[in-house]
Amino acid sequence: FKIAFMTPQVLQNDIISNLYSLDDVSLIIFDECHRSVGDYAYCFIAKKYVETAKNHQILGLTASPGSTEEKINEIKNNLFVEHVEIRTDQDSDVKPYIYKVDNEWIKVKLPSEFMDIKKILIEKLRAIYKWLKQQELLNSSDVTKIFRKDLLALDKIINGKISASRDDEEKILLFSAKKFVANAIRLSHMDELIETQGVSALDDYMKKNVKKIKQNTANKSLKELFRDSGIKQILKLIETNKENGIVHPKL
């Protein structure tokens, strides 16, 4: 028998060009199979394999299968997989290969220049959370108790309320809430970037959004956010940090 290793894109192109046949392939192993969504090459290969192989077998490997049953089922369906097995570091066939790891947590203090940016972001988030709480869409306006997953869940709730609403004034308020939630997610992401990766990562993110606005591909909420004086101040602070060579202390 023969074993072939290749990138999925190469195999996909060879199949399309009739340069390779899957007829006699007895097993395909898809590594990092959580990528098997949308138009990723894995989906195409799995479908062609099941359609043409005489005795097809598919094995998918991943350490990140997805956080929801819906996501896992999507991967299973795209790879035509029925059976799922899970292994942890406590399983008998894994445990012999696990070695003790000594972790040492080292806390680093962010530069005051980074804290200046964080203060603006936290202030903006606090204002949004306060408004959402006033509309009874959040139970708290405490920025330390609200996470991005909460905002994503709230966005779905608001979408449901918009679909069910028959009151024009209520819909206007809900659309405003949706806009605030979208910008809260962006602000939360900015805060995470400056705290965990530094000014360079935040700069890249800001430039991508500025580019969208200039190319007129940005939505209304993004345009409004970047018109805000606080965001404009952050853009200036980013440039100052870059000019002064301020980097994240963990680097």
Give the number of residues written for the chain: 251
Read off the pLDDT of residues 96-124 as tens digits, 9 standing for 90 and up: 999 888 999 888 899 999 999 999 999 99
Pick one of 3.40.190.10, 3.40.50.300, 2.40.30.10, 3.50.50.60 as the CATH number of 8-97.
3.40.50.300
What percent of the chain shows pLDDT beyond 70? 100
pLDDT at 247 over 90: no
Read off the pLDDT of residues 183-217 as tens digits, 9 standing for 90 and up: 999 999 999 999 999 999 999 999 999 999 999 99
Mean pLDDT for the chain overall: 94
DSSP the chain: -------HHHHHHHHHTTS---TT---EEEETGGG-STT-HHHHHHHHHHHH-SS--EEEE-S---SSHHHHHHHHHHHT--------TTSTTTGGG-----------PPPHHHHHHHHHHHHHHHHHHHHHHHTTS-S---TTT--HHHHHHHHHHHHHHHHH---HHHHHHHHHHHHHHHHHHHHHHHHHHHHHT-HHHHHHHHHHHHHHHHTT-S-HHHHHHHHSHHHHHHHHHHHHHHHTT---TT-
Nearest-Å Rg of the Cα atoms of the chain is 24
Q: Nearest 5 degrees, angle CA 122-CA 140-CA 138?
A: 105
Read off the pLDDT of residues 177-188 as tens digits, 9 standing for 90 and up: 999 999 999 999
Question: Predicted confidence band at 14 (pLDDT cuts at 50, 70, 90)?
Answer: very high
pTM of the predicted protein model: 0.64
CATH 1.20.1320.20 in the chain is located at 112-243
- Quick one: CATH architecture of 112-243? Up-down Bundle (1.20)
d(CA 171, CA 161): 8
Q: Report pLDDT for 1.
A: 80
